[in-house]
Structure 1
Amino acid sequence: MSSSLCRRWLFSVISPPITKRYFSSSPAVLAKRVEKKKAPSKHQLALIAKRKAAKRGKDAYANEKMSLADAISVLRAVEVARPNSTYELIIRTAMSRGAPIPTGRINLPREAKPRKEYRILVFADGRQADEAKKAGAHVVGGLELVDAVAEGKHNSCTTILCTPSLIRSISSKLGRILGPRGLMPSERRGTVTDDIEGYIQKLQGTTEWRGDKTGTIKMPIGKLHFPIEDVVRNAKQFVLNVKRATGNLSDAVAEAEAKAQKGKNSSKSVKPVNAIIRILLSSTQAPGIQIKGL
């Protein structure tokens, strides 16, 4: 045996066999993919709204109603330590899109709060100006008052009336000044009228109520120390007034006028009814109680 063969043999015996190394590679870690959520369809949105409505309907107190007299007794018990608290009647109406905000005036049999003192400014001339002064208007004048009002000299006035003959002359100069303050005379609100004296008398003998943008109307109707009969009388009178103003109740004269107008112009649209959804009675520190039978 040659020396080279001996070396190979000895090397193979002494040294362990060389094992093969196998390299494996794993795929790179992928970044987390954020999948965009699909917007729910109209059908899915309707189902979600239906489920939420069903859950709200399961409220144990949702359908609980009391008579007005019982609700007054409960609130008296809750407010026993506050005899000067105020009863507040809350009427929620179904405001449709574009419907005017409900508003009106009322003379309660027994006022819960002192009537607001009005400071009245009247744009009128001639005989109507004299009538306005006799009726109790604080500031009366014609177009000469426009500059004074624009300069803010009569900012203390809370109500501004105008005759139809002068409204065009003052609207161009005072519309941007009085409009944002809610004082600009308008036919819709009844502050543009020929019967200035009658409007002032109505203003001084009644209290104004006004709903908010959602159609919720709130009105104080009595104090806790009032007899129950007075509170009931005030509440019924106020609900009747709101029903007439929102189209839920009309008297015989209004129905006759509506029929006559319908006969003259059949294409004229009928004024929509602002339906009353709920009537609640609450007080200063007590929860609202749903009222039935009003």
Structure 2
Amino acid sequence: MFGLGLLCRQCHGSLTNAVLTRQLSTTPVLQLRKVKAKVPTISKKAAAAKARRKALKKRKNIYEYEKLPLAEAINVLRVRTTLLLPLSSADILQAVEVAHPNATYELVVKTDMKSGTAVPKGRINLPREAKGKTRDKVLVFAEGRQADDAKKAGADIVGGPELIDGIISGRYQATTFLCTPALIRTITPRLGRVLGPRGLMPSERRGTVTDDIVGYLRRIQGSDEWKGDKTGTIRAPIAKLQWPVDDVTQNVRHFLTTVKRAIGIQTDETDKKSSKPSTAITKVLLSSNQGPGIQIADI
């Protein structure tokens, strides 16, 4: 506290008796420092919700929210290839594959695959095949007499734990892996990380861990494998557009029945009951090479 001998600018009076005071701040020094604003981190749930909102804003095709019965969806996508039958104006407007008479129907089955659930997978023999058969390359883990039987039944590679290093290095490659129950515990610690993410690891649930190796090899002859991706979406060529509607319908129904059995929705009396929860089918779409994906109502 101190005084100054100064004059006031307005009245030219003396300021010698004026008392000037200084107020000191009592705020701690640490609180005066500027704290950088933290960038908020988005959780996985919030990021997924943001992605869904963004997807909803995208332009949808005219069939996005429209469901059609299977027969009507086939008629929308199909095209007449016989020149003897005249095309009416309604048929021309209805057909979306006029320039591609050999186009193929594709069936897309979307499943609600939960975290930790196995990727949908199975084998099928359609009533009328839409594509040529592909031969599976089978590797079998077996020893003794079972190994000899597997070789006679047509297995490509047969052996015991000595095959593990070759599979990891890529020297032994196959599309189907089978194993006997006696060797499954031996191969799992090392091959689980290699074959598991690819959906090729033998498992009892899929029937690829079995003592009846010969019977399994006989069952897969003449059949094709179908498999979903990591999101649980299954895609398969199901028929040709020039086929009769009944043939297309029969193939679609047969494929859906096989998928439902594999994911636990539909069971037969002969099927073994599983304690694992079933996976729901959220959407079934039928499309063609140049046509839109039409959602099927009667699944």
- Using the size of structure 1 for normalisation, the TM-score is 0.68
- 2:142 equivalent among 124, 141, 145: 124
| Letter of the structure 2 residue corresponding to residue 127 of structure 1 | R
Q: 1:222 to 1:61 in 2, by over 3 A?
A: closer
1:191-245, Cα deviation, whole Å (9 max, x unpaired): 2221111221222232221222332221110112222221111000011111222
Identity of aligned residues (%): 56
Distance in 1 between residues matched to 2:269 and 2:190, nearest whole Å: 42
In the other structure, the counterpart of 1:216 is 233
Deviates more, 1:171-180 or 1:107-116: 171-180
Q: 1:289 to 1:180 in 2, by over 3 A?
A: closer
Deviates more, 1:63-72 or 1:284-293: 63-72
Contact kept, 8 Å, 2:109 with 2:235, in 1: the verdict is: yes
* Structure 2 residues without counterparts, runs of 5 or longer: 1-9, 11-36, 41-45, 79-94
SS at match of 2:117: coil
Matched, 1:286 2:291: yes
Matched, 1:104 2:113: no
Matched, 1:70 2:67: no
**Higher Cα radius of gyration:** 1
SS at match of 2:148: helix
Matched, 1:200 2:214: no
| Letter of the structure 2 residue corresponding to residue 137 of structure 1 | A
Contact kept, 8 Å, 2:73 with 2:296, in 1: the verdict is: yes
In the other structure, the counterpart of 2:112 is 94
In the other structure, the counterpart of 2:181 is 164
* Structure 1 residues without counterparts, runs of 5 or longer: 1-19, 21-35, 40-44, 262-269
Output the aligned Cα RMSD: 3.6
In the other structure, the counterpart of 1:274 is 279
Aligned length: 240
| Letter of the structure 2 residue corresponding to residue 71 of structure 1 | A
Contact kept, 8 Å, 2:121 with 2:227, in 1: the verdict is: yes
- 2:100 equivalent among 44, 67, 82: 82
Query: Greater helix percent: which structure?
Result: 1
Q: CA deviation at 1:128?
A: 1.1
Q: CA deviation at 1:88?
A: 0.7
Distance in 2 between residues matched to 1:210 and 1:118, nearest whole Å: 14
SS at match of 1:205: coil
In the other structure, the counterpart of 1:237 is 254
